[in-house]
Each structure stands twice: as structure tokens, then as C-alpha cells.
């Protein structure tokens, strides 16, 4: 976890984590976040987490001591690793959904093509909701035990958080504009531009470092 090796003493947990890792890697390389592979990856992480939580509960029932404390710390790191994997899978699926909704939104804003295929209309609020969920996932990963000690991870997730907040503000502005609330829409567009600029500036700084 975060570059530190964590021993796995349970064969069942080790096998569950290997399965979850393989499915997450397959999902990351698939170019899609939905469907059977996404569901299988999430289920595998949930299964591994349940095993880790059972082992953690058994350790907490034991009397404290150097060896037990070490095993408890190992299990905490294992659970953090699995939680990170689970949130990564969820965010992959939700980003896939956001991309799909953005394409539908772009189509709804473009002139109608009488020969084109029609799809269900997308509302700005649909995208705001998806970006709310994505924001929840990134913030959950930032709160994982040990995450604040890894500068690279913190920087990557913080940049992603700024980008998501910018996109959320943009589509919230579109929602206000649809209701002819121009002042609110303009304020949110300015906020979106500020957040997007902050994300780009931080990404440039991290690239230099």
C-alpha cells in the first residue's frame, strides 16, 4: 500500500486480492467502465474487503501486544488498499457514464440531424449528479489511511478533485441558464474557469517537480 509491502498471512485473502487486482487491471485497460467487467471488479473488491474486515475484527478481539499491533496495522493497510481499488473501479464506471452523458449533451446542443439516431435527452442536472458522485469518490480516496503521506497520490487526486469541481460548476451553470437565471449561471461559469485554471496550474507545477 502506497509503495510499502504489506504481508498477507491469509491464503483466502491473498487469493481474493489477486482476483480483485486482475479484474481492476482489466477494467482499467478496457476503455469502458460499465457492464459485466465493471460489476465483477466491484464484486471482487467487496468480497476481499469482507474477508479483510473479518480478519481485522478477529485481531481486535485479541489482547494488544507488539505482534498483534503489527498485524492490526497490516490489516488496516490492506483494507485501505482494497478501498482504494474499490473507489477506483467506481470512479471508472462513473467517468464512463459522465463521458456518455457529455456526448448526449453535446448532441442535444447541436443542430438536429433528421437522418441521425435519436437518443434520450440529457439534462445538465444529470451531469451535476454524476460529478457529485465522482467528487465523493476522489475525496474518499484522499481520506484513506496513509494517503496524506504520499505526495504523488495526494497531488494526483487533488488535481482530479479540482477538475471534477470545475466540470460540476460548468454543468450547474448550464442548469441555471436553462432556467434563465443568468446571474447565477455567469457566477458559476466564472467559478468553473477558476477551478479549471487552478487544476491546470497545479498539474504544470507537479510536472516541473
Residues 42 and 106 in one domain: yes
Domain count for the chain: 2
Residues 54 and 97 in one domain: yes
- Mean pLDDT estimate for the chain: 90
- Tell me which of 33-37, 56-60, 136-140, 192-196 is least confident: 33-37
Q: What b/e string do you get for 172-190 counting C-beta neighbours within 10 Å, with b at 16 or more?
A: bbbbbbeeeeeeebeebbe
**Residue 118 forms part of a structural domain:** no
Residues 135 and 103 in one domain: no
What does pTM read for this prediction?
0.86
**Residue 132 forms part of a structural domain:** yes
Contact 153/189 with Cβ under 8 angstroms? no
Among residues 78, 113, 148, which one ends one of the domains?
113
pLDDT grade for 207, boundaries at 50, 70 and 90: confident
Residue 110 contacts by C-beta under 8 Å, 6 or more apart in sequence? none
State the residue range of the domain holding 159: 123-209
Quote the CA–CA distance of 46 and 136 in Å, as a whole number.
18
Contact 17/7 with Cβ under 8 angstroms? no
Residues 95 and 8 in one domain: yes
- Tell me which of 11-20, 29-38, 97-106, 148-157 is least confident: 29-38
Residues 83 and 156 in one domain: no
**Residue 66 forms part of a structural domain:** yes
Distance, CA of 209 to chain centre = 25
Which one has a higher pLDDT value, 112 or 136?
Answer: 136
Residues 55 and 137 in one domain: no
Among residues 113, 140, 173, which one ends one of the domains?
113
Distance (Å) of CA 181 to CA 115, 130, 131, 190: 34, 22, 21, 15
Residues 11 and 109 in one domain: yes
Residues 169 and 87 in one domain: no
**Residue 58 forms part of a structural domain:** yes
Q: For residue 113, what pLDDT is reported?
A: 55
Residues 99 and 15 in one domain: yes
- Tell me which of 28-32, 49-53, 133-137, 169-173 is least confident: 28-32
Residues 28 and 79 in one domain: yes
pLDDT, one tens digit per residue, over 121-145 is 789 999 999 999 999 999 999 999 9
- The residue with cell 442536472 is 125
Residues 130 and 32 in one domain: no
Among residues 46, 78, 113, which one ends one of the domains?
113
HSE toward the beta carbon, residue 189, CA cutoff 13 A? 11
Residues 104 and 26 in one domain: yes
Mean pLDDT within 62-83: 92
Q: For residue 199, what pLDDT is reported?
A: 96
User: Environment class of residue 13 by beta-carbon count within 10 Å: exposed (0-12), middle (13-18) or buried (19+)?
Assistant: buried
Residue 41 contacts by C-beta under 8 Å, 6 or more apart in sequence? 20, 23, 24, 26, 27, 89
Distance, CA of 97 to chain centre = 12
**Residue 108 forms part of a structural domain:** yes
Residue 121 is placed in which grid cell? 435527452
Amino acid at each position: 500500500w502506497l509503495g510499502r509491502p504489506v504481508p498477507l498471512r491469509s491464503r483466502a485473502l491473498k487469493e481474493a486480492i489477486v482476483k480483485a487486482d486482475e479484474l481492476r487491471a482489466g477494467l482499467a485497460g478496457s476503455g469502458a467502465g460499465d457492464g459485466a467487467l465493471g460489476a465483477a471488479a466491484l464484486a471482487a473488491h467487496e468480497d476481499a474487503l469482507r474477508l479483510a474486515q473479518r480478519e481485522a475484527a478477529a485481531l481486535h478481539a485479541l489482547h494488544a501486544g507488539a505482534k498483534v499491533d503489527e498485524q492490526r496495522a497490516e490489516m488496516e493497510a490492506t483494507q485501505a488498499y482494497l478501498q482504494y481499488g474499490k473507489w477506483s473501479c467506481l470512479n471508472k464506471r462513473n467517468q464512463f457514464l459522465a463521458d456518455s452523458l457529455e456526448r448526449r449533451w453535446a448532441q442535444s446542443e447541436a443542430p438536429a440531424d433528421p437522418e441521425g439516431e435519436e437518443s434520450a435527452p440529457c439534462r445538465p442536472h444529470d451531469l451535476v449528479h454524476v460529478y457529485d458522485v465522482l467528487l465523493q469518490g476522489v475525496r474518499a480516496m484522499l481520506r484513506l489511511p496513509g494517503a496524506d503521506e504520499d505526495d504523488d497520490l495526494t497531488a494526483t487526486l487533488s488535481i482530479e478533485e479540482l477538475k471534477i469541481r470545475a466540470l460540476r460548476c460548468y454543468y450547474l451553470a448550464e442548469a441555471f441558464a436553462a432556467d434563465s437565471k443568468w446571474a447565477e449561471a455567469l457566477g458559476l461559469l466564472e467559478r468553473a474557469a477558476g477551478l479549471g485554471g487552478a487544476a491546470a496550474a497545479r498539474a504544470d507545477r507537479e510536472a516541473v517537480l
